[in-house]
Amino acid sequence: MSIVLYHHPFSRAANMVWMLEEVGEPYELRYVDLGAGAHKSAELLALNPMGKLPILTDGEATVTESAAIALYLADRYSYGTLAPRVDDPARGAYLRWAFFAPSVIEPGAMAKAGGWTFREGAAGWGSHDAMLASIESALSHGDFILGDRFSMADVVFGGTLRYMLGFKMIEPRPSFVAYAERLAARPALQRAEVRNAAVREEQGLKPR
Ligand SMILES: N[C@@H](CCC(=O)N[C@@H](CS)C(=O)NCC(=O)O)C(=O)O
């Protein structure tokens, strides 16, 4: 199998399983025991010097950073379907909101939850209220980020929002909750949950 995901079900790698299920290519999950520090082994540091998961390898390609993995998979295996083509005007919104998740939602929600002190004009994630308004605006065009059309941007953006809602790290505005429910109904996400649960069971990990 060419695609290998270095995985732990209690990490961002769990959302990568959803991406892979949406793409529909065969893949191997390689369990990394975070508790035992296996992500800091020489083998994995050679793949990701950050010493973090997820890591995806595909033949000679190595990709880290969750959003980059998503965009890589969509361009490589679902170009024109999960990834709008480069000459499709929807590509702009697709990239915009896929990058917004790790650049703004993640640090913005963590800053709020952790009571960080920062200058809104200097911090890339800016004001919390503006972030919430931007998420509402991204969700105002239809069921998905690109309106009626589901794309890999929903897996990145929606995966982040689902995580933040699940851990009560973001205000559960009605449009956020309704979007998360639409995503939860996707068969690929449900298959991913089954695979993540199977790894939890194999490894004797308690659900969180
Ligand atoms: N920016 C990275 C974050 C990766 C990350 O923080 N991974 C966590 C698990 S969700 C990790 O490996 N933590 C272990 C550690 O840092 O020791 C991404 O989006 O993939």
Break the chain into its structural domains and give their ranges. Answer: 3-80+189-202, 90-186
Of all protein residues, the one whose alpha carbon is nearest to atom 1 of ligand 1 is 65
Question: Which residue of 41, 45, 52 sits with most ligand 1 atoms within 8 Å of its CB, as the best mutation to test the pocket?
Answer: 52
Of all protein residues, the one whose alpha carbon is nearest to atom 9 of ligand 1 is 11
Measured in angstroms, how far is the CA atom of residue 115 from the centroid of ligand 1? 21
According to the model, what pLDDT value does residue 1 have?
74
Measured in angstroms, how far is the CA atom of residue 162 from the centroid of ligand 1? 17
For ligand 1, residues with CB inside 6 Å are: 11-12, 34, 39, 51-54, 65-66, 102
Report the CATH architecture of 90-186.
Up-down Bundle (1.20)
What are the CA-CA distances from residue 64 to residues 3, 71, 81 (Å)?
13, 11, 23
Candidates 1.10.287.610, 3.30.499.10, 3.40.1260.10, 3.40.30.10; CATH matching 3-80+189-202:
3.40.30.10
Question: Which residue of 5, 6, 12 sits with most ligand 1 atoms within 8 Å of its CB, as the best mutation to test the pocket?
Answer: 12
Token duo for residue 154: 């929903």
Tens digit of pLDDT at every position of the chain (208 positions): 799 999 999 999 999 999 999 999 999 999 999 999 999 999 999 999 999 999 999 999 999 999 999 999 999 999 999 999 999 999 999 999 999 999 999 999 999 999 999 999 999 999 999 999 999 999 999 999 999 999 999 999 999 999 999 999 999 999 999 999 999 999 999 999 999 999 999 999 987 6
Give SS3 for 58. Answer: strand
What's the DSSP call for residue 207? P
Token duo for residue 185: 């109904």
- Sheet strand arrangement including 55-58: 27-31, 3-7, 55-58, 61-64
Of all protein residues, the one whose alpha carbon is nearest to atom 10 of ligand 1 is 11
